[in-house]
Structure 1
Amino acid sequence: MDSIKQIIQNVGLVKSSNNSNNKSDVNLTKSEALQRTAAALEANDSSNLTPLEQQFVDLARISTAKDSIIETQRAEIRKIHDELHALKKKTKEVKEELQRSELRCRAQDEELTMLRNLGKEQTYMCDRVNDLTKRLVEAKDETDKITAELNAKIELEITKATTLEKESNEKSLKITEFEAILGRIQHENYDLKKDLEISDAKLIEQSLQFANSSEERAGIQDYLTAENTTLIEKNEKLQQKCEELTKKCEEMENLWNAKIQEALKQEQRT
């Protein structure tokens, strides 16, 4: 019970630090508060931890893993945005190069037309015209080939970028979902702590009122037994939710590792 009250005080300390920076220098987050409390609990003999205390230790571990996953996802999203920016820049440069090639082709075509007109008057220019025509055709074929290759590469990069952005959005949605689940669990933990405080207050009040009555003390014992049963059931449900969340986090981590390996293999192939 003292450990639970310490957890409540740590969470309250976080809220107080967020409301007024002038009154306190404490800059803990809820996650840090849980982690510090969990560390304090684990410093004791783990065999003496109550189910609720063990649950808070597990919750702190899950919160730490969640923060690490979120930071990794954000780094990947920033990397994807940088790659998209570089791809757009590269595409712009390619388009500018294509425009310059088209201008050169037009200039050569105009030169060829002029030479053909001159060739009507000067026969000796025919060889020059034929040579320029051949070079123009070869240059056009080479330009078309380069253009086709660049367009294919651009389409491939755009497809990859679109796929990565889609996967990033899906992972962001999953992260948001897990954050919502963690929020609900924290809210349920808070409600459970409030129930424990109310039960303690009722126990003290009823013990004072019925201290001289053995029958009433027996009634109090029955009431406490029922309350303990209810709290045990709530604790079991909360423990089950924590296990489900842990499993989802592991599945998400495995999926993300597989995606990273696949992306690395594709990068090595290209």
Structure 2
Amino acid sequence: MTASMSRMERRFAALKEENRAALVTFVTAGDPDYDNSLNTLLGLPAAGADVIELGMPFTDPMADGAAIQLGSQRALNNGQNMVKTLQMVCELRKQDQDTPLVLMGYYNPVYRYGVDKFLQEAAEAGVDGLIVVDLPPEHDDELCIPAREVGIHFIRLATPTTDARRLPGVLNNTSGFLYYVSSTGVTGAAAPTPEKVQAEVEAIRAHTDIPIGVGFGIRTPEQAARIARFADGVVVGSALVDCIANAESPAAGTEAVLALTRDLAASIRTARQ
């Protein structure tokens, strides 16, 4: 590792040396409210999250299933906005300078906030990457290239329907890691078949050296361990958001998220032994 490497690159390089996959956790900023969401965010690194995806709430999260849709709605109903989301990143950086953080969501809130303003403030806050699911490679000039110019990775999604003709475009300008969507449909869908996903990941690896994280439908430590045997990262989101939705209180929701994170991390750390 070198000093010129980004926080994301350092994290994946270190995990490669440890011969284990990254646990990538997703929670929605402001779900169920700002204070409890911040407590959850601040607790994730110690619970075992190697990379954090922080959802930017949006009224129409079309790629997400019911769990994350409802999480976005809870956050918006309690006043979450882009200013507060970036402030949460600032709060994380006050106590953690090592864990990569990715903002994930849709282009509309970024566009309304102002692309230049958003990128400047995101970089200053300590954001490491962006996943914007509704901006395809054909629109790289809008956000992807400007993000990379300020040192923020732009992480693209590949799916089972991304064929050999489409893949080069997906990989072009992608950095940080590639998010492989293991099943068609929305987030929280049926669990992927590990053998099928492994073959698809290996096919992509023939075209790139970038780390590949696998997500969609991974809910349990056992499922995470199976994916961790071959993926560079395991992404878990809906199961964590459900912990908040099903909790008796917001504080209990935070503890449930962190407890599941600890279990997921433990399973991933031993997956290749």
TM superposition score category, shorter chain reference: under 0.3
Normalized per residue, the structure richer in strand is 2
Normalized per residue, the structure richer in helix is 1
TM-score (norm 2): 0.23
Structure scoring higher RCO (CA < 8 A, sep ≥ 6) equals 2
TM-score (norm 1): 0.24
